[in-house]
Amino acid sequence: MSMLTTSHVFGKFNLSIMKKVFCLLLLSSCLFANKNATAQSGSVFSDRLELGLAANYNTDVNRFGLSGHAKWLFPSPTNGQFLITGKLTHTAPSNGNFFSTLDRGKYDNIAAAHLMGGYRYYFRSGPRNPVAAGSAFFVEGNAGLSFVSRGRTFGAGLNPAVGYSTLSGLAFSLGYQGVLAFHRDKQGLQLLEAGVAYRF
């Protein structure tokens, strides 16, 4: 009986050790795979985060301004990829200096914030990674929610663009940023943009 009990306990002990060893091997494999993927891409954020700045022209009021954006590019094995864009736009006032803003209505500047989702397609031959491959022209379309300071207007944000992306991470683009107000008595926004961005 004693021998059976000892053998039973020893068997459970061996099974416990085998489970732990298996878990450790599985964890090690996952860490190794993640390390290799990170080493190949440079970092978790490599080629996925894009920051950009653009000069804009407000066709509603015939004034210039600035636009700034941050884009998160989702990796894809094809020539197209989905993205999320957070963007701020500023139209200079006619009765103050260029950067007059957050003034509680003292100046007639027009600021707006945009949160959009979209899709970018690169004109390349073959199903290659759109970010890791070489330089290429691209077209992009974004749509989402926008808020315009003038009249505290909420609306649908639309942002089509064309551009050229380089292997070094730089991208040049021409685009349009529009806001269609949800209420008819509110005024939207129409901007023509020319900008540059860098992909980290």
pLDDT at 124: 79
Cβ atoms of 145 and 154 within 8 Å: the answer is yes
- β-bridge partners, 194: 55, 174
Q: Say if residue 31 is in the same domain as residue 49.
A: no
pLDDT at 130: 55
Cβ atoms of 180 and 146 within 8 Å: the answer is no
Q: Say if residue 168 is in the same domain as residue 191.
A: yes
Q: How many domains does the chain have?
A: 2
Q: Which residues lie closer than 8 Å to 115 by C-beta, 6 or more apart? A: 84, 85, 86, 87, 144, 145, 146, 157
Q: Say if residue 21 is in the same domain as residue 48.
A: no
- β-bridge partners, 72: 49, 84
Q: Say if residue 31 is in the same domain as residue 64.
A: no
Domain carrying residue 146: 43-199
pLDDT at 195 over 60: yes
CA separation, residue 89 to residues 170, 187, 190 (Å): 21, 16, 11
Q: Say if residue 102 is in the same domain as residue 145.
A: yes
Q: Say if residue 89 is in the same domain as residue 17.
A: no
In sequence order, what E strands does the chain have?
A: 49-58, 63-73, 80-91, 110-122, 136-148, 153-165, 170-181, 189-199
pLDDT band at residue 105 using 50, 70 and 90 as cut-offs: low
Please report which helix (H) or strand (E) contains residue 40, including its range: helix 2-41
- Choose between 61 and 44: higher pLDDT: 61
pLDDT at 125 over 60: yes
Q: Say if residue 122 is in the same domain as residue 158.
A: yes
Cβ atoms of 178 and 116 within 8 Å: the answer is no
Indicate whether this model's pTM tops 0.75: no
Cβ atoms of 50 and 73 within 8 Å: the answer is yes
Q: What number is the average pLDDT over the span 148-174?
A: 94
Q: Say if residue 142 is in the same domain as residue 76.
A: yes
We report the CATH number of the domain holding residue 64 as 2.40.160.20
pLDDT at 94: 86
Q: Say if residue 58 is in the same domain as residue 101.
A: yes
Q: Say if residue 144 is in the same domain as residue 195.
A: yes
Q: Say if residue 51 is in the same domain as residue 36.
A: no
pLDDT at 154 over 80: yes
Q: Say if residue 157 is in the same domain as residue 110.
A: yes
